[in-house]
Amino acid sequence: MQAFHADAVDLPLPPGHRFPVGKYRLLRDSVQASMPEVQVTAAGPVSAGELALVHEPAWIGAVFEGRTTPEQQREIGFPWSEQMVERSRRSVGATIAAARAALLEDAGVAANLAGGTHHAYAHKGSGYCVFNDVAVAARLLQIDWQRRWRRQQHRALHVWVIDLDVHQGNGTASIFANDPTVFTLSLHGARNFPFRKEASALPPARVRLAGTPPSAGGAVDGRRLWPRHRHHGAPAPADLARRRGAPAHMGDRPRDGGGGTIGLMSTRAQPQERSGYPHFRTITTRWMDNDAYGHVNNVVYYSYFDTVVNHWLIERGVLDIHQGEVIGLVVETQCNYFAPLAFPQTLQAGLRVAQLGRSSVRYEVGLFADGEPLSAAAGHFVHVYVDRATRRPVALPRSLLDALQPLRADGTSAP
């Protein structure tokens, strides 16, 4: 068995600080002394690009560059220091290493001796947690899984996050809100930190464990939990488990319909398959597309959306950007990000029309790295077509409807 640690970097704290940072070194010493068969390895740091799969660039930059505010430092509970940054990066790196050893190296089980930073949100740290190790590891494992099995056309990796800490994993629940590929369970105290619990996709229920008095709440059989969730359209999470506060065991591997713990489930958008798009256009990334973290800036994705849509319309003679009497104005746009893109890289933009109104069109776009079966990003925007002079909505011209017909996602004919 492999175990990874992050205590090679000391975390300087003020005298009398309440956080027991020495416990990690004591745990490592104990494991090495009592379990010599366990291979204990120092973890490397997670990169900024890997963190960006989960965390907002503004938060990553503030931490890396020492720009966290006093209020942010108070919420985390640690003063900023270079050692704090390095220790936080290595804590995430240890969970990534353990997850890869367990799943991709077929070890079956591995451990991080200093992980569980489940209070960190995408945009901030909290409760002694700077970055969310489990969330970043889950995202990277999903990407690794796609790359390893893409030729065998395996389904996307579905992840279980089983959190048995006395505190709710509020940051994890928030990050994976509306994600059908990640199933979160949290069993925690009702009246402790965080005092504002995150809402789940299902209404929260009070739970009592076997042997506790009825006053603690109504008992719920964990074996009945998954069938309840299945009705909400989420896939069976049967690929990867992550537990805190309890010893790992090979028998803990999740099975469909099984389980003896209960908690909160949350869902989020998932990558799209190439087969869902009838048209593709190749786009080459540019040097200017990259941001300070070495991957394509979030706002640039929207320019890719514009490129594939308007190229289709101009090629078919239904958009004259200089003289046309009818033009399309973007009134709504949105993008979900699943994996980083960067310069230099070639990508394919998939295009489909999801909905036609009297004067509006909803385009949906998936951005795929070259050769990848699932999208690195997917989103949509809505065009409302208006008279160029008056800017009043007009009915979609017949020529435009005919040009959009091959892109219809539902296969129906234009009205």
Q: Where along the chain do its domains lie?
A: 1-152, 158-269, 274-407
What's the CATH number for 274-407?
3.10.129.10
Q: What is the pLDDT of residue 186?
A: 84
Q: Is 57 exposed, middle or buried (0-12, 13-18, 19+ CB in 10 A)?
A: middle
- Name the nearest CA neighbour of 163 among 116, 196, 126: 116
Residue 290 carries which DSSP code? B
Residues of the chain with pLDDT under 50: 201-267, 412-414
Q: What is the pLDDT of residue 193?
A: 85
Tell me if residue 407 falls in helix, strand or coil.
Answer: helix
Cis, peptide link before residue 278, omega less than 30° from 0: no
Contact status, residue 109 vs residue 1, Cβ threshold 8 Å: yes
Residue 191 corresponds to which tokens in the numbers above? Answer: 């009246």
Q: What is the pLDDT of residue 369?
A: 93
Please list, in sequence order, all residues whose beta carbon lies within 8 angstroms of the beta carbon of residue 23, skipping any fewer than 6 positions away. Answer: none
Please list, in sequence order, all residues whose beta carbon lies within 8 angstroms of the beta carbon of residue 74, skipping any fewer than 6 positions away. Answer: none
Residue 227 corresponds to which tokens in the numbers above? Answer: 């069938």
Residue that is written with structure tokens 């969970």 in the block: 95
Please list, in sequence order, all residues whose beta carbon lies within 8 angstroms of the beta carbon of residue 303, skipping any fewer than 6 positions away. Answer: none
Strand partners, 5: 42
pTM: 0.55
Euclidean distance between the first and the last CA atom of the chain, given in angstroms as a whole number? 62
CATH 3.80.30.20 fits 1-152, yes or no: no
Alpha helices in 179-255 (DSSP H): 225-230
Contact status, residue 348 vs residue 280, Cβ threshold 8 Å: yes
Give the H/E segment covering residue 23: helix 23-34
Contact status, residue 343 vs residue 276, Cβ threshold 8 Å: no
User: Per-residue pLDDT tens for 116-156?
Assistant: 899 999 999 999 999 999 999 999 998 888 877 665 555 67
Report CA dihedral (176, 68, 84, 293) to the nearest 10 degrees.
60
Q: Is 264 exposed, middle or buried (0-12, 13-18, 19+ CB in 10 A)?
A: buried
Distance, in Å, from the CA atom of 249 to the CA atom of 354, rounded to the nearest integer, reads 46
Q: What is the pLDDT of residue 200?
A: 53
